[in-house]
Chain A
Amino acid sequence: MAEVYNWHIGRKMTYAFPEAHPQRQFVAVFNINRCIGCQTCSGACKATWTFSKGQEYMWWNNVETKPYGGYPHHWDIKTLQLLDQAHQQANRKAEWDATQTNPDAPYGVYNGLTISEAGAPDQQAIGYLPEDSEWRAPNFYEDISTSYAGDSLGISSQGASLPEHQTWFFYLARLCNHCTYPACAAACPRKAIYKRPEDGIVLIDQSRCRGYRKCVEQCPYKKSMYRGTTRVSEKCVACYPRVEGNDPLSDGVPMEARCMAVCPGKIRLNGLVEIASDGSWKEDPQNPLYYLIRIEKVALPLYPQFGTEPNIYYIPPRWVPRPYLFQMFGPGVDDAIQRYTAPSRQLLAVLQLFRTTQKMIFRFEIEEGPLVLETEINGQPWQMYNDTIIGFDAMGRQAVRLSVVEPFHERPAHYLNSI
């Protein structure tokens, strides 16, 4: 085992391979506060990548209802349970020291065990292999109702009639995290999984894979999936032809992945960040992703304690009890929600960039506008300025230009289903 630095947990940790980092990394920010669980992202991915025989059960992108939903069923609870057992056996505690924050450890230091540190001597990481039934019915226990009479299409205008949970919930959209230290790659006995040097996308070499399913077992996010018809494993490919700029629509510049580009709730922003040779993020304050994650810190990694340094970041939901969010997103939750609820002038403008162009935005500029609103947020005065934000593509060309107060356009009825 090698020692590598993981900035999510603020310390070095053990990993199967020594540090070797890509020049750029595929990164996305999801704003959970806006997600209404419409599953358009899931459908777009399904229609693009997993529509063939043997892929029926696969949802490379899925949206699950937390706290009770999951695909595969209870994936996170099961991994957290394994991690808890490992801590008990080692007489350790999964604790964060949030007082030790610095630019290389923005959330403090995690003093517990990661999944690779908790693994047995013959394991690269702790994990489990979900049973076939656990992959069925994504979001089972929440959106699947079996006992109401529908109309001729099987749809009920009254909605679900099953007993409903009366507690809080939120929708968690998930895909492969294209981790900096992928557990799937560490687990593969064939070394068939690799991280691309140009964009950090994690792929499975279909010709090398022999379907041992060690990646399925040891990916803590359960985003490697086995295909019975080809007898090899598959996973999200981050729509790499689009990221490479090879899509006919792209005009030669990187585009957002399909699941990102279709989101009607405008919850997603996808792009590439520059990575230094030591794995740190090169300072790039005008890159919207760098700005949201490293400067404002409003977007946080999913289960950072797993230790894989995932690259999909989430703006946590404001209404959910903090202990749950703390477990899911780490100790940065309080600050992230505070900054998001009363955004700074610059943050408000950057939040406008979500889902405004299919092209990845590499740089933004803000032109200051007039003061248009003075109000109070959580009892504190807050001001809104109608600034203009401009997003630039990989070639430095203007890709989008919009203001904080943007007109709302309604598509005419006869164009409702046109592209």
Chain B
Amino acid sequence: MLIKTPEEDDPMELTGVVLPGEPGGLERMAETFVEEFVRLGWQEEHLLKLFTQPYFLATHRIYRQKGEEYVRQLIRKTQTRWSIQPRHQPNKE
């Protein structure tokens, strides 16, 4: 937590500027991540956690900007395209 007001010449302060995006860039990134993990056998609820958790900045940014419905629809669409059979096998222990 920030307890001191940063001084203007502090070399460790953020000095970068926000770069503008390009149309479709975020969607292409989202599609790749979802496809990679669907192909590894991840199911919707597990994969959604990758987006809802703020600790995964890439996927969480997509979640915040595009919304949960977009992510769910993308997962379902990708599953339809890639899933062969139900892969999820909860351990019996």
Contacts and interface: CB of A to CB of B under 8 A. Distances in A.
| A complexed with B | yes
Interface of A: 33-34, 36-38, 65, 68, 133, 136-137, 140-143, 146-147, 149-150, 154, 156-160, 162-171, 266, 317-319, 321, 372-373, 375, 384, 386, 405-412, 415
Interface in B9-30: 11-12, 14, 16, 18-22, 25-26, 28-29
12 contacts: A33-B32, A143-B57, A146-B6, A146-B14, A159-B54, A167-B21, A386-B84, A406-B41, A407-B41, A407-B89, A408-B89, A415-B93
Interface in B49-93: 50, 54-61, 64, 81-82, 84-85, 87-91, 93
Given A146-B2, A384-B84, A159 B60 contact: yes
A319 B87 contact: no
Nearest to A166: B21
Contacts of B91: 409-412
B58 to A, nearest CB: 6
Contacts of B81: 375
A387 B47 CA distance: 25
B55 to A, nearest CB: 8
A136 B32 contact: no
A137 B34 CA distance: 30
A141 B14 contact: yes
A33 B2 contact: no
Given A68-B19, A150-B1, A408-B89, A36 B59 contact: yes
Nearest to B93: A412
Contacts of B41: 405-408
Contacts of B6: 146
A319 B28 CA distance: 6
A266 B21 CA distance: 29
A266 B40 CA distance: 9
Interface of B: 1-2, 6, 11-12, 14, 16, 18-22, 25-26, 28-29, 31-33, 36-37, 40-43, 46, 50, 54-61, 64, 81-82, 84-85, 87-91, 93
Contacts of A38: 55-56
A247 B84 CA distance: 39
B93 to A, nearest CB: 5
Interface-centre pick from A33, A317, A319 (highest chain B CB count, 10 A): A319
Nearest to B59: A36
Contacts of A373: 82, 84
Interface-centre pick from B19, B33, B82, B88 (highest chain A CB count, 10 A): B19
Contact of A165 (B1, B19, B87, B89): B19
Contacts of B14: 141, 146, 162
Given A33-B32, A373-B82, A168 B56 contact: no
B72 to A, nearest CB: 19
Nearest to A415: B93
A384 B87 CA distance: 16
A160 B7 CA distance: 21
Closest 7 CB pairs of A and B: A159-B54, A166-B21, A408-B41, A319-B28, A167-B19, A168-B25, A165-B19
A167 B36 contact: no
Nearest to B24: A319
Nearest to B60: A159
A309 B50 CA distance: 35
Given A373-B84, A411-B91, A169 B58 contact: yes
Contacts of B46: 410
A8 to B, nearest CB: 26
A164 B61 contact: yes
Given A36-B50, A137-B12, A408 B87 contact: yes
Given A36-B33, A159-B60, A319-B28, A405 B2 contact: no
A167 B25 contact: yes
B84 A317 contact: no
A147 B59 CA distance: 21
Nearest to A139: B57
Contacts of A157: 54
A156 B54 contact: yes
Contact of A406 (B37, B87, B90): B87
A252 B12 CA distance: 47
Contacts of B36: 33-34
Nearest to A134: B11
A150 B1 CA distance: 7
A1 to B, nearest CB: 38
Contacts of A412: 91, 93
Given A170-B29, A317-B32, A386-B84, 14 more contacts: A36-B50, A36-B56, A146-B6, A159-B54, A159-B55, A160-B54, A167-B19, A167-B20, A167-B25, A171-B58, A321-B22, A375-B82, A408-B43, A409-B91
